[in-house]
Amino acid sequence: MTNDPTPEGVPAWEQMLRAMLGDGADEAIEEMRRRGLDPSSLAAASGMPSDPAAMEQVFAQVQRMFAAAGDDPVNWRMAHDLARQQASLGGDPSLTPGQTKAVLDALAVAELWLDAATELPPSPGTARAWSRAEWVEATLPTWRTLTEPVAGSLSTALVDALGGRLPDDSVGLDDGPALPGGLDPSQLLRQLGSAVFGLQVGQAAGTLAREVFGTTDIGLPLLDAPAPALVPSNVDAFADGLDAPLDEVRLYLALREAAATRLFTHVPWLRAHLLGTVEAYARGITIDVEQLEDAVSSIDPTDTAALQSALSGGVFAPHTTPEQQAALTRLETALALVEGWVDEVSTQAAIAHLPHAVALREMIRRRRAAGGPAEQTFANLVGLELRPRRLRDAAALWAQITAAGGPQARDAVWAHPDLMPTAEDLDDPSGYSARRQAAADESADLDRALAEILGDEPSGDPGDTGRAEG
């Protein structure tokens, strides 16, 4: 790029720096040159656009970024704006009355069919048909819950690694602020980290908005108050090219959405269990600070290729601790159980009504197992995969429980987290009932032993009373 002046007569790179640094820009630019850094070279290496209109958009976004930066580890204003932009790529027109009616009718029919397949009643939440932008607005609060723990951990690690490397005299003032804009080094790094995560969250949410069918596709409930919803444009895009007609595809996806919503509504501990497990994993993230410092110290800031190579070379790769691995195992098992239950119940509800139910079931299974854009986006963002690797095993387990005790026995497993099947049960679904019975017997024996010790009930030995009295 050339540093052609803008209509105001100020080079584009200088406008950018001034937008970022505010009142401290003059001192900062002077200090950069004194230290041997040419701001125009930095601008060229960053690939800044030379088009005035494009630069104006960049300026506005940078100013918003720093204006909105607060104490949050994620710049949520930036995340929101970028998510809306990403969601609208390729078009996101308002829903027509016909689209809305088709979705609401499908969800209503799905609820009727599910009544015959599960003991869990419908969710009281109002069914919705959403545009992609509406999906973004509805789900961003949960993205905050999911991403802030890892963003906070990484922000702290960056400050610890790099905070001491920023010179206190960077503006050349002995008694002035440490950095332009009145920020100390830690504040600057945290704001930059907040902006980076804002970009990542916005990109992730916006990408997902173009892929998901409803609110439960990634296995986690994305609404605080569960309610079934579908995104018609994504449903239509998925159905395009399939052998099954659109109405049938919409009904099958409505069954899955309504079934998952029933589960998250009437198993109140489940949402907290899943999100808490994600948080436990994220809060344990650590960064190899020495590796980070070595990488940064060896980078020429004007060499973007070297910077990109360093950042993609595992510098920020989290180190999995035993506690994190345990949390990951719990999460993978729980995700498989949720997905398996939804898979089994929705297909049983559909089988008598939809000719392509089995084929659609297999299509969804493969989509989830392959880890589509939704799963990969979340993996990049939070550092773990939400892929139900054992979906087929879980579906087989739920089918086994249903065969042995009916839908009531299958749904009763969700009554308490202690009753949740384990990875061992996924290994051997046919032995689940025997293991449950053995565990129940062992628990009853323990209760009796404790009662005897505490004197809450007689031991059952007819000679005990005589001995005690004697």
Residues near 320 by beta carbon (within 8 Å), at least 6 away in sequence: 328
Burial 362-400 (b: 16+ CB within 10 A, else e): ebbbeebbebbebbbbbeebbbbbbbbbbbbbbbbbbbb
Top mean-pLDDT range of 3-17, 215-229, 293-307: 215-229
The mean predicted confidence, pLDDT, of the chain is: 76
Q: Binning pLDDT at 50, 70 and 90, where does residue 184 land?
A: low
Lowest mean pLDDT of 71-80, 86-95, 369-378, name the range. Answer: 369-378
- Tell me the C-alpha distance between 108 and 225, whole Å: 19
Mean pLDDT of 442-452: 70
Residue 368: pLDDT above 90?
no
Q: Of residues 11 and 414, which shows the higher confidence score?
A: 414
Residue 377: pLDDT above 50?
yes
pLDDT of residue 148: 83
The CA-CA-CA angle for residues 161, 162, 163, to 5°, reads 110
Which pTM value belongs to this model? 0.74
Among 50-64, 116-130, 185-199, 254-268, where is mean pLDDT lowest? 50-64
Q: How far apart are CA 22 and CA 7, in angstroms?
A: 20
Residue 236 clears pLDDT 80, i.e. is over it: yes
Q: What pLDDT is attached to residue 392?
A: 87
Q: Does residue 146 surpass a pLDDT of 70?
A: yes
**Contact of 161 with 293, CB cutoff 8 Å:** yes
Distance CA 71, CA 466 (A): 72
- The residue count of the chain comes to 470
Average pLDDT (19-48) is 55
**Residue 145 has what pLDDT?**
84
In the chain, what are the domain boundaries?
1-68, 72-331+372-378
270, pLDDT greater than 90 = yes
